[in-house]
Amino acid sequence: MGHEALDRVATPFLALDRSVVEANAARLRAHLDGLGAVLRPHVKTAKSVEVARLLFDGGVGPITVSTLAEAEAFADAGFTDVVYAVGIAPDKLDRVIALRRRGVDLVVLLDSAAQAVEVARASRERGVPVPALVEVDCDGHRGGVLPGDPAVLAIAEALVSGGAELRGVLTHAGESYFAYTPEALTAAAEAERLAAVRVAEDLRAAGHEVPVVSVGSTPTAHAVTDLTGATEVRAGNYVFFDLVMAGIGVCRVDDLALSVVTTVIGHRPDKGWIMTDGGWMATSRDRGTARQPVDQGYGLVADLDGTPYPDLLMTDASQEHGTLSVRPGSAAALPDLPVGTRVRVLPNHACATAAQHDRYHVTSPGSRAVEAVWPRVRGW
Amino acid sequence: MGHEALDRVATPFLALDRSVVEANAARLRAHLDGLGAVLRPHVKTAKSVEVARLLFDGGVGPITVSTLAEAEAFADAGFTDVVYAVGIAPDKLDRVIALRRRGVDLVVLLDSAAQAVEVARASRERGVPVPALVEVDCDGHRGGVLPGDPAVLAIAEALVSGGAELRGVLTHAGESYFAYTPEALTAAAEAERLAAVRVAEDLRAAGHEVPVVSVGSTPTAHAVTDLTGATEVRAGNYVFFDLVMAGIGVCRVDDLALSVVTTVIGHRPDKGWIMTDGGWMATSRDRGTARQPVDQGYGLVADLDGTPYPDLLMTDASQEHGTLSVRPGSAAALPDLPVGTRVRVLPNHACATAAQHDRYHVTSPGSRAVEAVWPRVRGW
């Protein structure tokens, strides 16, 4: 297609193994098959229409977004079944309504009567009933209403009586990112389901219809064994995976689809360092594995064909400099990488690393050819 | 000019106080006045032609860049005196030579004979002598040749005999970001100067001309009292400053020009949290103050007019959620901020926070009007 190959594109840049994305997508689909819930991928990790199409066999399907910029870009590409899974700020309702008028079934999230009143007011004033999900807190990680809190009924009442629509409930097991055993992950998935179903039942008992019960995170979606009462599962990171997910056992390092390609620009043998042209501007400042049993620095380092060097990490970063060195305590030797050598850095957190870039260079394992260049959605 | 005001622009976004940038620029110019060296601002922090013009009274001047994308964008805007202060990767020499052919005096950096051989080869083959600075290590922070290392002469010889140009030496006191007293900062500045001058003198003793002796960092540029032997000073962060710089005493919180405007989307009174729509996608994952005596979380929180709330920090972040809470140990009360309230988050690290955005919304202290929207240079 005329794209420069991996050994020619100006570094640093993102390399994306398409077949790894496809395998990750197939694995989660297979896991959820028969559990009775729809998969609604979160596009916040890849922010790429082309990556999302891989998840739907080239077509479109239900998605979750983290920004209205994503909702608008994916609407342009034909994705019309969208949950905006960040609590709604009233100032954003104009854009929500504009999307609904375009035919996008965009659903907002909220966890307070104050928000419900604003959603209802906008619905009435603009003549466009906006559907909303009530956010449920299943593990104290972020926002949401606690199961059993009477605020849930006040929120539902404010929506329905005010002219908006109660679409259902949504929860996210943020604490599952800190679960380190299969049992802990399955327990987190069950806690997530039970919290959402409990609130849905409370709402039904009060006479509301609750068509949507939405649960999920990458760790719990892969661990869940029972989705009774849930109608849909969300997961985002799984399309790429990363070292944090490998650290909690949700994937293997081989399942990482994304890497940052950088070039060696120098050596400090007195310090055991190799310097590259990829700093935190290319990897992000995310050091998610610092909180895990195995700290991977700013990332594991592999050769340009994807084979990791023994215990070689990106251990430090300034804006446009990366420092590679051997994992502390390892007996591995620093590899001999001449100036100009290209390496791949496997990231801690794919969402954060991808966000540093405007595009993906799409390739296949074992090949240096770039099949395509896919843009990312940016901004808000 | 028809721009939406600070209380209307879609959050999160960057607000930039123009007059604070101007004051920061004037302060450093005044400090360096009479010390006998030229100021060569590093544009890697703002990556904005419009911000750079503020530093040169609306005109152009010598600049430092961290990427060739910056060099190209600034060349388009008439900036033709440019140092690319990241060690050169041989694959980038084609773009360097293309810029020189456009009339840009672009100078590269290197610290090895291997790089010098490649720069010389490209110079000969393309018929364009590329000038280079030798990077000197003054404090063990990153790359560079140690003063006294005979490699310096081999590098110079490879450049000159091979058809390139030795332009001089450059050093950067990266460790000054960890100096916490005026004395330590001045000592770092003096160590930086001495290292660069020492290597310049070694090169002159070997018969080389060394027209450029380049030193500097934001901390040392503000602390330096003697620039004998140095020809230019580099600093980048000072145009915006940030909480890391305030933490080492180089500026006050009032000198911070940049903030992230976010909107309150919820509350968790049981946890003492206020939730906003600005997460790490808007602030970056940079937690530079975590290593300082006063940890500022993801940033200090001020109202939309810039007045800080007592001890209110952004204490946690997910991709599109920020958590605000009172500084641990503080007796301050959590302010009452209704859903929809806009706040400003003052960043740990301006370079990293700005990099999460595509543009600045330019304003003045005490005003909510947006005077201009300035784009940032992105990518490599």
> Could you read off the pLDDT of B319-343 as tens digits, one per residue?
999 999 999 999 999 999 999 999 9
Residue A262's closest chain B neighbor by CA? B89
Determine phi and psi for A310, rounding to 5 degrees.
-60, 120
> How far is Cα A199 from Cα B31, in angstroms, rounded to an integer?
63
Q: In chain B, which among 189-228 make CB contacts under 8 A with chain A?
A: none
The one-character DSSP state at B330 is -
Query: Is A89 in contact with B379 (Cβ distance < 8 A)?
Result: no
Find chain A residues with C-beta within 8 A of B357's C-beta.
379
The answer as to whether B7 is a domain residue is: no
Which of B281, B324, B343 to mutate to test binding with chain A, by most A CBs within 10 Å of its CB?
A: B281
Which tokens is A245 given?
């997910």
Neighboring chain B residues of A264 at a CB cutoff of 8 Å: 89
**B287 and B343: one domain?**
yes
Q: Are residue A197 and residue A136 in the same domain, yes or no?
A: yes
Residue B176 per-residue DSSP state: G
* Residue A349 half-sphere exposure toward CB, CA atoms < 13 A: 23
Of A320, A356, A357, the CB nearest to B66: A320
Task: Give the mean model confidence (pLDDT) for residues A238-260.
Answer: 97
Asked if B40 reaches chain A (Cβ–Cβ under 8 Å), the answer is no
Report the distance separating Cα B316 and Cα B275, nearest Å: 10
Does residue A202 belong to any structural domain of this protein? yes
Mean of pLDDT values over A280-309 = 97
pLDDT at B366 over 90: no
N-to-C CA span, chain A? 31
Say whether both A279 and A217 belong to one domain. Answer: no
Asked if A224 and A233 count as a contact pair (C-beta separation under 8 A), the reply is: yes
Tell me the shortest Cα–Cα distance from A11 to chain B, in angstroms: 7
Confirm or reject contact between B115 and chain A (CB < 8 A). Answer: yes
Asked whether residue A187 falls in the same domain as residue A315, the answer is no
Quick one: which of A102, A67, A100 has its CA closest to A167? Answer: A100
Instruction: Report the amino acid identity of residue A120.
Output: A
Give the domain-ending residue among B209, B237, B265: B237
Domain-located, residue A30: no
Give mean pLDDT, residues B192-198: 97
Q: What percentage of chain B carries pLDDT values higher than 70?
A: 100
Q: How many Cβ atoms from other residues are within 10 Å of residue B151's Cβ?
A: 15
CA pair distance B34, B43, nearest whole angstrom: 23
Share of chain B above pLDDT 90, in %: 96
Cα separation, B81 vs B61, in Å, equals 7
* A349 contacts A284 by C-beta, under 8 angstroms: yes
Give A92's DSSP letter: G
CB atoms within 10 A of CB A209: 12
Q: What whole-number distance in Å separates Cα of residue B144 and Cα of residue B87?
A: 9
Task: Give the nearest partner residue to B339 out of A112, A275, A352, using CB atoms.
Answer: A112
- Same structural domain for residues B189 and B277? no
Cβ under 8 Å to A: B residues 329-368: 338-340, 351-352, 355-358
Q: What six digits make up the tokens of A364? A: 């296949």
- Name the band, by pLDDT with cuts 50, 70 and 90, for residue A175: confident
Contact B265 A143 (CB under 8 A): yes
Flag if B287 and A284 touch (Cβ within 8 Å). Answer: no
Q: What is the C-alpha separation between B43 and B222, in angstroms, rounded? A: 17
pLDDT in the model for residue A176: 86
A143 interface with B at CB cutoff 8 Å: yes
Contact check, Cβ <8 Å, A266/B115 = yes
B147 touches chain A (CB under 8 A): no
Look at chain A and report how many structural domains it folds into: 2
Contacts of B91 in chain A (CB under 8 A): 8, 10-11, 263, 340
Cβ contact B89–A340 (<8 Å):
yes
Is B265 near chain A, with CB under 8 Å? yes
Query: Does A6 fall in a domain?
Result: no
What does the alpha-carbon distance between residue A74 and residue A43 come to, in Å, rounded to a whole number? 9
Q: Do B275 and A352 touch (CB under 8 A)?
A: no
Q: Report yes or no on B6 lying in a domain.
A: no
Q: What pLDDT, in 10s, does the model give residues A137-152?
A: 999 989 999 999 999 9
pLDDT confidence bin for A197, thresholds 50/70/90: very high
A301 shares a domain with A166: no
Cα(B372)–Cα(B196) distance, integer angstroms: 40
CB contact under 8 A, A287 and B285: yes
In a domain, A80, yes or no: yes
Nearest to A266 among B87, B265, B323 (CB): B87
A189, A207, A238: which is the final residue of a domain? A238
Chain B CB within 8 Å of residue A315 CB: no
**Model pLDDT, residue B177:** 86
Rounded distance between C-alpha atoms, residue A240 and residue A362, angstroms: 12
**Residue A40, both tokens:** 């609604």
Residue A284, chain B, CB below 8 Å: the answer is: yes
Name every chain B residue with its beta carbon within 8 A of the beta carbon of A268.
143
Distance in Å, alpha carbon of A34 to nearest chain B alpha carbon: 31
Q: What is the extent of the structural domain holding B226?
A: 35-237
Tell me whether residue A58 is exposed, middle or buried, using C-beta atoms within 10 angstroms of its C-beta: 0 to 12, 13 to 18, 19 or more: exposed
Same domain, B67 and B189: yes
> Does A285 fall in a domain?
yes
* Residues of chain A contacting residue B352, judged by C-beta atoms under 8 Å apart: 280, 285, 319
Could you give the percent of chain A with pLDDT greater than 90?
96
Question: Which residues on neighbouring strands pair with residue B267, listed in sequence order?
Answer: B274
Mutate to test the interface with B, among A117, A138, A265 (most CBs of B within 10 A): A265
Measured between alpha carbons, how far is A69 from B330 in angstroms, rounded to an integer? Answer: 38
3-state DSSP assignment of residue A316: strand
Residue B311 burial (10 A CB sphere; 0-12, 13-18, 19+):
middle
Question: At B250, is the secondary structure helix, strand, or coil?
Answer: coil
Rg (C-alpha) for chain A, rounded Å, is: 22
Average pLDDT over residues B282-297: 97
- Positive or negative, the Cα torsion across B139, B143, B144, B147? positive
Cα–Cα dist A233/A220, whole Å: 9
Task: Say yes or no for a CB contact (<8 Å) between B275 and A357.
Answer: no
Last residue of a domain, one of A207, A238, A269: A238
The helix/strand/coil state of A29 is helix
Any B CB within 8 A of A112 CB: yes
What ipTM is given for this predicted complex? 0.97
Would you call A111 an interface residue with chain B, using a CB distance cutoff of 8 Å? yes
Closest chain A residue to B115, measured at CA:
A339
What pLDDT band is residue A179 in, cutting at 50, 70 and 90? confident
Contact (CB<8Å) A118/B321:
no
Contact call for residues A208 and A189 (beta carbons, < 8 A): no
Residues of B in Cβ contact (< 8 Å) with A119:
none
* One-letter identity of residue A345: V
Write down the H helix ranges in A299-355: 350-354
Which uninterrupted H or E stretch holds B20?
helix B18-32
CATH number of the CATH domain containing A313: 2.40.37.20
Query: What whole-number distance in Å separates Cα of residue A242 and Cα of residue A252?
Result: 9
Which residue of A234, A277, A304, A343 to mutate against B (max B Cβ within 10 Å)? A277
Band of pLDDT at residue B178, cut at 50, 70 and 90: confident
Q: Are residues A63 and A137 in the same domain?
A: yes
CB of A304 less than 8 A from some CB of B: no
Contact B10 A95 (CB under 8 A): yes
Average pLDDT of A46-52? 98
Is some CB atom of chain A closer than 8 A to the CB atom of B320? yes
Distances (CA, A) of A190 to A9, A67, A176, B194, B316: 45, 28, 11, 64, 26
- Assign A239 a pLDDT band (cuts: 50, 70, 90): very high
Q: Output the average pLDDT for chain B.
A: 97
Instruction: Inform me whether the pLDDT recorded for B1 exceeds 80.
Output: no
Could B338 and A114 be called an inter-chain contact, meaning their C-beta atoms sit closer than 8 Å? yes
Q: What is the CATH number of the domain that holds B57?
A: 3.20.20.10
Is the pLDDT assigned to residue A326 strictly greater than 70?
yes
Q: Residue A178: pLDDT band by 50, 70, 90 thresholds? A: confident
Same domain (yes/no): B211, B139: yes
Q: Where are the beta strands (DSSP E) in B227-355?
A: 232-235, 258-268, 273-276, 300-303, 308-317, 322-326, 342-346
pLDDT for A222 equals 97
**Which strand (E) or helix (H) includes residue A360?**
strand A359-363
Instruction: Count the Cβ atoms, other than its own, within 10 Å of residue A56.
Output: 15
Query: Which of B96, B277, B325 should we substitute to test contact with A (largest number of A Cβ atoms within 10 Å)?
Result: B277
Residues A84 and A201 in one domain: yes
Residue A1 above 80 pLDDT?
no
Give CA A357 to chain center in angstroms: 15
Chain A partners of B378 at a C-beta cutoff of 8 Å?
Answer: 358
Q: In what order do the strands lie in the sheet with A105-110?
A: A38-41, A232-235, A212-215, A165-171, A131-136, A105-110, A81-87, A63-65
The residue type found at A161 is S
Query: Please, which pLDDT band fits residue A2 given cuts at 50, 70 and 90?
Result: confident
Chain B, residues 61-100, CB within 8 A of chain A, namely: 66-68, 86-92, 95
Residues A59 and A113 in one domain: yes
Q: How many CB pairs under 8 A join A and B?
A: 151
Confidence of residue A342 (pLDDT cuts 50, 70, 90): very high
Chain A interface, mutation test: which of B66, B265, B273, B359, most A Cβ atoms within 10 Å?
B265
The DSSP element (H or E) to which A81 belongs, if any, is: strand A81-87
Is the pLDDT at B63 greater than 70? The verdict is yes
CA angle at B115 for the pair B108 and A269, rounded to the nearest 5°: 115
Does residue A50 surpass a pLDDT of 60? yes
Is the CB of residue A313 less than 8 Å from the CB of residue A300?
yes
Distance CA A278, CA A282 (A): 6
Whether A65 is covered by a domain: the verdict is yes
Contact between A138 and A191 under an 8 Å Cβ cutoff? The reply is yes
Helix (H) or strand (E) holding A134: strand A131-136
Q: Are residues B96 and B205 in the same domain?
A: yes
From the list B67, B89, B281, which residue is nearest A265 (CB)? B89
